[in-house]
Every structure is written in structure tokens, then in C-alpha cells.
């Protein structure tokens, strides 16, 4: 089930806005409505946000992003359409039931922080809990915990006016976290911050999101921010959602000229990451196998090199075909592992940073997670291709590779070769 599902949402400002919905459905355009004193801010928006993802709505100023996000918690009532949150259609809720949803399910972070200047940082962070009627000692404890999560331990007694912009927004974030809702709405939450701080906040948000498994609807007018944060991105223009997709989908397959022009200036090398361009190795060898098994596998797939992995997917080393051939020739039992020159990287390293790693070596760059488990490989040709035209080499098109094939050597057939 989706965390948030919006279906055919319209929001039109002006008198008797319903007539605007009808007019738009009959195919009239925005300008005609404006002439009649109506402002269509959101037009027929349909999207769904999966639990635990960051869904970014991206568009220029005035494209209707703030209006759209406010229909999700009904700070604004949609003129038409429905919004379903965790299975509850909120369009029909009365005041008390709606407040209940806002207290328990959806919290919000604001562009200009919207902190209460007469309350301390700790009291601000505890605001949602206070509204919920949580007793003092519990809410103080939870507010303090939330402040710790955003790196503001010990600031609880200060007033917001004593904090820098970045720190104030951390308080805003802590207030939303302390409320304990699964869904967080963030309206241009980082737009008022300067670029360095913004970058830091983005990293922190990704980190928090992964740790706490929040569902985040994030609004921004900054494409780079959208690409960095978004699991899915909705591109909005003049009140309409033009395209919804992953960063790569939008970069590589824009649905129309508007989106294409919008993304053409994006620095792909800063947006795309190792995870986007890595490939799955054609075959893997279990670390218990001998040179003969290796030779068989490499002949079968016509490989020049082969990775050797342990049962937990950590990389043991790499085999060169010539090394394996001479080991077989000499009748050795141990694998002639190549280890020292191997290059590793993490999945969220940007292409820009990967280029520094590029070397004229036939051995691929190995992508592994924090625990050291193999995620994929990036041969230098792929990296160079990505560098050349910005097109990712991976993309699941590499001949002869499907995710299924790759699983096999590790989970099943490695055992066979061992």
C-alpha cells in the first residue's frame, strides 16, 4: 500500500473554483481561467509515494508545489480529487479526525522554519508532542532525543534567535521527528540555507531517512537537490505534473521538451552515482573453489578477469585469466588471487568523484556497501563512456547479464564450483 496516494487533485484559487475544474477538464487552458479570475495552482495531480522513500516534487517558483504539498495534509482543501494517507481518504474527514491524522501520521517542515520565537529550542522540538497531549517528562525526553538525531545535543535551552539558519532548520526537523509520524512533508526545507549548509542537511536527511525509515515528500526548486534526494521525482510545471520517475529516468528519457530542456544543463557527473552506472558481474567464483573451476567459468563466459567472493558477498580478490592458466598448468591448488591493486568505491559516490579513481587498468572498480559486500562493478570503459556522453553504461542493458544470472553463482552455483 502506498504511504500517500493523490488522485486527480485540483486546487484552484478564486471564487466558485469548481467551475475552473470543469473548464480545465473541458480542455481550456490556464490563461483562460486567469482571465475569469481563477488561479489554477494544481491541475489534475496524480502520484503515489511508497513507504520509506523520498519523493521529490520539483518545479520552478509558482508552479504549484507548495499548494500541492498543502493539499496532502489539507492545510488547503483540494478543489477536486482525493488524497489517501495510509489507507485513509482524508478529503472527507471532519476537523477532529483531520487533526488526529496530522498528529499521528503526517508532520511538516517549513521553508522559513516556522519556529516559535518565544519558546526554547527544546520546547519547539516538543511542540507536536505538546499538542498531542503527551506529558511533560515524556515529551522533554523525546524532544531531546530528536535534537540529538539532528546534531543539536545541548542546545535545548537556547532560543531560536540564538541559532544560525541551518541550526534553526535542524530544530524544525527535530520537531517533525519528535512528533513520531511516519510521513514528513518538507516544503523547500533547505532552500533558505546557503549551499554548503544545504549540502550538509541533504546528507543528514538521507542518513536519517535510512535510519528511521520515514516516508518523505520533499519539495524543491533545485534540480540538483531533487536528483540527490529523490527516489522518485515529480517534475511540475504550471500546476501540472509533467513526469514522474527516478533521477536516471528523467535524465535519460524526458517525456517532453520541457523536461528535456530543464535537465539538459544538469551536471550529470554530480547527479549520477556509482549505483546508477555499476554493472553486475557476469559470473562470480566462490572463495572455496580451485583454479580449474575458475578456468572453466572464465572460458564459459569468455572472461579476462573474475571476482572471488566469500559466502557473505565480501570480496576475496580477483583472478586474471593468465594467472589462472599458469596455476592450472603448474597444477597448483590455491587460487592466484590479485588483491593489492583493487579499487573500491561506495554506491553513492558521484561520477565526478569516480573519475578521480579512473585508471588505465583492466581491473574494474568494485562497488561495495558499508559492510564490504559486493554490489556491482564498474569497468573503466563504462566509466569512460559515462564521462564521455553522460550516458550511464549500466542500465541493465549489458549483454548477457540479468540480475537473475548474477544471483546464481553466489547463492546456488557457487556451491557447485566450490
Partner 1 sequence: MEDQESTVIPSIQVGDWVESGVDWLTGNFREIFRTFSDVLETLINGLIDALLFVPPDLMIVVLVLLGLILRSWQFAVGSALGLSAVVAMGMWEAAMQTLGIVVFATVVAVLIAVPIGVLAARNRVVSNIVQPVLDFMQTMPAFVYLVPAVILFGIGFVPGLLSTIVFALPPGVRLTELGIRQVDAETVEAGQAFGATPRQILRGIQLPLATPTIMAGVNQVIMLALSMAVIAGMAGADGLGKLIVESIARLDVGLGAEAGLSVVVLAIYLDRLTASIGGSGSDKSLGALIRRSRGRSVAQRVTTGI
Ligand X SMILES: Nc1ncnc2c1ncn2[C@@H]1O[C@H](COP(=O)(O)OP(=O)(O)O)[C@@H](O)[C@H]1O
Choose among Mg ion, ligand X, partner 1, none what residue 147 binds, the Cβ cut-off being 5 to 8 Å by kind. Answer: partner 1
17, 78, 156, 394: which one binds partner 1 (CB under 8 A):
156
In the bound complex, what is the minimum distance in angstroms from residue 218's beta carbon to Mg ion?
12
325 in contact with partner 1 (CB under 8 A): no
Nearer residue to ligand X within complex by CB, 59 or 172: 59
101, 244, 251, 327: which one binds partner 1 (CB under 8 A):
101
Choose among ligand X, Mg ion, partner 1, none what residue 131 binds, the Cβ cut-off being 5 to 8 Å by kind. Answer: partner 1
Nearer residue to partner 1 within complex by CB, 63 or 73: 73
Binding-site size for partner 1 (CB under 8 A) equals: 45
Nearer residue to ligand X within complex by CB, 14 or 166: 14
CB under 8 A, 24+ apart: contacts of 337-343: 337/308, 338/363, 342/315, 342/317, 342/318, 342/366
Instruction: Retrieve residue 59's grid coordinates.
Output: 518545479
Of 130-138, 283-291, 353-361, 395-403, the segment contacting partner 1 by CB under 8 A is: 130-138
Nearer residue to ligand X within complex by CB, 39 or 224: 39
Subset of 182-211 contacting partner 1 (CB under 8 A):
185
CA distance 51 to 215: 5
- Helix 195-212 and helix 165-178, axial crossing angle in degrees, nearest 10: 20
175 in contact with partner 1 (CB under 8 A): yes
144 in contact with partner 1 (CB under 8 A): yes
102 in contact with partner 1 (CB under 8 A): yes
Q: Which residues bind Mg ion (CB under 5 A)?
A: 66
Instruction: Retrieve residue 85's grid coordinates.
Output: 494517507
Whether 287 and 308 have beta carbons less than 8 Å apart is answered as: yes
Nearer residue to partner 1 within complex by CB, 187 or 248: 187
Count other C-beta atoms under 10 Å from residue 157's C-beta.
10
Nearer residue to ligand X within complex by CB, 75 or 255: 75
In the bound complex, what is the minimum distance in angstroms from residue 125's beta carbon to partner 1?
9
Subset of 65-84 contacting partner 1 (CB under 8 A):
70, 73, 75
116 in contact with partner 1 (CB under 8 A): yes
In the bound complex, what is the minimum distance in angstroms from residue 197's beta carbon to partner 1?
20
Q: Which residues bind ligand X (CB under 6 A)?
A: 13, 39, 41, 59, 61-67
In the bound complex, what is the minimum distance in angstroms from residue 141's beta carbon to partner 1?
5
61, 92, 137, 161: which one binds partner 1 (CB under 8 A):
137
Burial class (CB in 10 A: 0-12, 13-18, 19+), 137: exposed
Choose among ligand X, partner 1, Mg ion, none what residue 67 binds, the Cβ cut-off being 5 to 8 Å by kind. Answer: ligand X
CA distance readout (Å), 60 to 29, 223, 232, 235, 261 = 19, 9, 17, 9, 13
147 in contact with partner 1 (CB under 8 A): yes
Choose among Mg ion, ligand X, partner 1, none what residue 122 binds, the Cβ cut-off being 5 to 8 Å by kind. Answer: partner 1
Nearer residue to ligand X within complex by CB, 78 or 128: 78
In the bound complex, what is the minimum distance in angstroms from residue 41's beta carbon to partner 1?
16
Nearer residue to ligand X within complex by CB, 190 or 320: 190
Count other C-beta atoms under 10 Å from residue 418's C-beta.
13
248 in contact with partner 1 (CB under 8 A): no
120 in contact with partner 1 (CB under 8 A): yes
Sheet with 183-187, edge to edge strand ranges: 106-109, 183-187, 215-220, 54-59, 232-237, 240-245
357 in contact with partner 1 (CB under 8 A): no
In the complex, which residues of this chain contact partner 1 (CB under 8 A)? 70, 73, 75, 99-104, 106-108, 110-112, 114-118, 120-123, 126-128, 130-132, 137, 140-141, 143-144, 147, 154-159, 175, 179, 185
Amino acid at each position: 500500500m502506498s504511504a500517500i496516494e493523490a488522485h486527480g487533485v485540483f486546487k484552484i484559487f478564486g471564487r466558485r473554483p469548481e467551475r475552473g475544474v470543469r473548464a480545465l477538464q473541458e480542455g481550456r487552458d490556464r490563461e483562460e481561467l486567469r482571465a475569469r479570475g481563477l488561479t489554477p495552482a494544481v491541475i489534475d495531480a496524480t502520484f503515489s509515494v511508497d513507504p520509506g522513500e523520498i519523493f521529490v516534487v520539483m518545479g520552478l517558483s509558482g508552479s504549484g508545489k507548495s499548494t500541492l504539498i498543502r493539499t496532502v495534509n489539507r492545510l488547503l482543501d483540494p478543489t477536486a480529487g482525493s488524497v489517501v494517507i495510509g489507507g485513509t481518504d482524508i478529503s472527507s474527514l471532519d476537523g477532529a479526525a483531520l487533526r488526529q491524522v496530522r498528529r499521528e501520521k503526517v508532520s511538516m517542515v517549513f521553508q522559513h522554519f516556522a519556529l516559535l520565537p518565544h519558546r526554547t529550542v527544546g520546547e519547539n522540538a516538543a511542540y507536536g508532542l505538546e499538542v498531542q497531549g503527551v506529558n511533560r517528562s515524556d515529551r522533554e525526553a523525546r524532544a531531546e532525543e530528536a535534537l540529538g538525531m539532528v546534531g543539536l545535543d545541548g542546545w535545548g535551552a537556547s532560543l531560536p534567535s540564538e541559532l544560525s539558519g541551518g541550526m534553526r532548520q535542524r530544530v524544525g526537523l527535530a520537531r517533525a521527528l519528535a512528533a513520531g509520524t511516519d510521513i514528513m512533508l518538507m516544503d523547500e526545507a533547505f532552500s533558505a540555507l546557503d549551499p554548503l549548509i544545504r549540502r550538509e542537511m541533504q546528507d543528514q536527511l538521507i542518513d536519517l531517512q535510512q535510519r528511521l525509515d520515514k516516508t518523505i515528500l520533499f519539495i524543491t526548486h533545485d534540480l540538483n537537490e531533487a536528483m540527490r534526494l529523490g527516489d522518485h521525482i515529480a517534475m511540475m510545471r504550471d500546476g501540472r505534473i509533467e513526469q514522474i520517475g527516478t533521477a536516471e529516468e528523467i535524465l535519460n528519457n524526458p517525456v517532453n521538451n520541457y523536461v528535456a530542456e530543464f535537465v539538459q544543463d544538469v551536471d550529470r557527473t554530480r547527479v549520477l552515482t556509482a549505483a546508477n552506472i555499476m554493472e553486475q558481474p557476469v559470473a562470480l567464483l566462490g572463495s572455496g573453489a580451485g583454479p580449474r573451476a575458475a578456468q572453466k567459468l572464465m572460458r564459459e563466459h569468455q572472461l579476462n578477469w573474475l571476482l572471488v567472493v566469500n559466502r557473505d558477498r565480501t570480496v576475496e580478490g580477483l583472478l586474471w585469466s593468465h594467472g589462472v592458466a599458469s596455476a592450472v598448468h603448474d597444477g597448483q591448488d590455491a587460487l592466484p588471487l590479485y588483491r593489492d591493486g583493487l579499487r573500491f568505491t561506495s554506491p553513492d559516490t558521484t561520477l565526478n568523484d569516480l573519475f578521480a579513481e579512473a585508471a588505465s587498468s583492466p581491473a574494474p572498480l568494485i562497488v561495495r556497501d558499508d559492510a564490504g559486500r559486493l554490489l556491482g562493478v564498474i569497468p573503466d570503459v563504462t566509466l569512460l563512456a559515462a564521462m564521455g556522453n553522460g550516458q550511464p553504461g549500466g542500465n541493465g542493458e549489458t549483454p548477457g547479464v540479468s540480475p537473475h544470472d548474477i544471483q546464481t553463482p553466489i547463492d546456488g552455483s557457487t556451491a557447485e564450483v566450490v
